[in-house]
Amino acid sequence: MTPFLHPAGSPRRGLHCEPNPVNATSAHPLPASIDDTLKLLSGADYLADRSLATVLFLALRMGRPLFLEGEAGVGKTEIAKVLAATLGRRLIRLQCYEGLDVASAVYEWNYAAQMIAIRLAEAEGSGDRDRLSEDVFSERFLIKRPLLQALEPDTAGAPVLLIDEIDRADEAFEAFLLEVLADFQVTIPELGTVRAAHPPVVVITSNRTREVHDALKRRCLYHWVGYPSAERELAIVHAKVPGIADRLSREVVHFVQVLRKEDLFKAPGVAETLDWASALSELDVVALDPATVSDTLGVLLKYQDDIARLEGTKAKEMLDQVRAELRAAE
């Protein structure tokens, strides 16, 4: 078995965590088929379409990172959370942002604690400098950030590593990430190379505010997470907003589906549909009317230009259309 750490220097130095002998997949088995994957997700109220379940199943099977791209609020982050919960794995989340660096993503030395240890050693008169420098660069003084934590063994099996909104990080970080994902290892000059005995389940998301480099995508299995169909969105609303009036839920979903076809600056995601459904339910609304729609648009749309487009007669027109289409479908 591969040791967790291959010390660069003497065997004294190193991270003293041995990989757990439990096979990464034995605690909670990975889904055995696409249907199994769908069931696993729906067990945690995540209603995926078959194409997403297929690529997820394959990513788990092949041990490849899953790259999920799509508009905000379509359920990308939630997949990683649901996977961790249903597989009984630890969820490790790395939220990306501009300027994210190795110190925040991988590890950093605890300088304050190192300084205190050095001062104490000086006060005690223990003058062995080599010994001291070895001691302060030991695991005790290492602050492990998400990428390093994800390489550590876990009794429940390898963790789920969520690298969220990679499009917000700089390209330099993307290149670094590529290296980590290639071998699931990182090198800490003072300590050695840390390698995962069981690679984590990796989910990378992007809201596509910029294109992510081909090299990173090539390492992953890719899936574009689109808006759900009306049927699936209705099922999501029923799963997440229990007790909502049947008519209201159908009107809400249909209204949002029609709204997404408008030329908006930011179309509402599933998150907004759920918020709107909860808000209306909270207000004891049983069916949509133009005034309620206008008054609650801020739950659905977050840009003033988009809201202004819908206020007044437009909302009423859309509502009439929604009603007519629902009646025709009955």
Closest residue to ligand ADP, judged by C-beta, is 75
In the set 46, 57, 227, 255, which binds ligand ADP (CB under 6 A)? 46
Q: Which stretch binds ligand ADP (CB under 6 A): 5-13, 72-80, 88-96, 138-146?
A: 72-80
The secondary structure of 128-181 as a DSSP string is -HHHHHHHHTSGGGEEE-HHHHTTS--TT-SPEEEEE-GGGS-HHHHHHHHHHH
Among 6, 27, 45, 294, binds ligand ADP (CB under 6 A): 45
Question: CA separation (Å) from 156 to 20, 146, 177, 247?
Answer: 9, 17, 25, 43
Tell me, residue by residue from 220 to 259, as one string, x for binding to ligand ADP by CB under 6 A and - for no binding: --------x-------x---x-------------------
**Kindly report the CA angle at 63 between 59 and 69, in degrees rounded to 5?**
40
Least separation in angstroms between residue 164's CB and Mg ion is 6
Q: Between residues 64 and 240, which has the closer beta carbon with respect to ligand ADP? A: 240
Which residue's CB atom is positioned nearest to Mg ion?
77
C-beta pairs of 179-187 under 8 Å, 24+ apart in sequence? 180/106, 180/147, 181/65, 181/216, 181/219, 181/220, 182/219, 184/151, 185/151, 186/106, 186/107, 186/147, 186/148, 186/151
Structure tokens at 260: 């997404």
**Ordered strands of the 160-164 beta sheet:** 91-95, 160-164, 201-206, 66-69, 221-224
Binding-site partner at residue 245 among ligand ADP, Mg ion, none, CB < 5 to 8 Å by type: none
Candidate residues 53, 57, 78, 221; the one interacting with ligand ADP per rule CB under 6 A: 78
- Given candidates 77, 104, 249, 273, which one binds Mg ion under the rule CB under 5 A? 77
Q: Taking the CA atoms of 3, 9, 15 and 16 in sequence, report the sign of the dihedral they define.
A: positive
Tokens linked to 197: 């005995």
Range in contact with ligand ADP (rule: CB under 6 A) among 74-82, 142-150, 155-163, 250-258 = 74-82
Rule CB under 6 A: is residue 55 a binding residue for ligand ADP?
no
Binding residues with ligand ADP: total (CB under 6 A): 19
Which span (91-99, 139-147, 268-276, 294-302) binds ligand ADP, by CB under 6 A?
Answer: 268-276
- Contacts of residue 279, defined as CB under 8 A and 6 or more positions apart, other chains included, come to 296, 299
| Residue 184 tokens, joined | 């699931």
Among 14, 31, 65, 73, binds ligand ADP (CB under 6 A): 73
Q: Which residue ranges make up the site for ligand ADP (CB under 6 A)?
A: 45-48, 70, 72-78, 205, 228, 236, 240, 270-271, 274
Q: Which residue ranges make up the site for Mg ion (CB under 5 A)?
A: 77
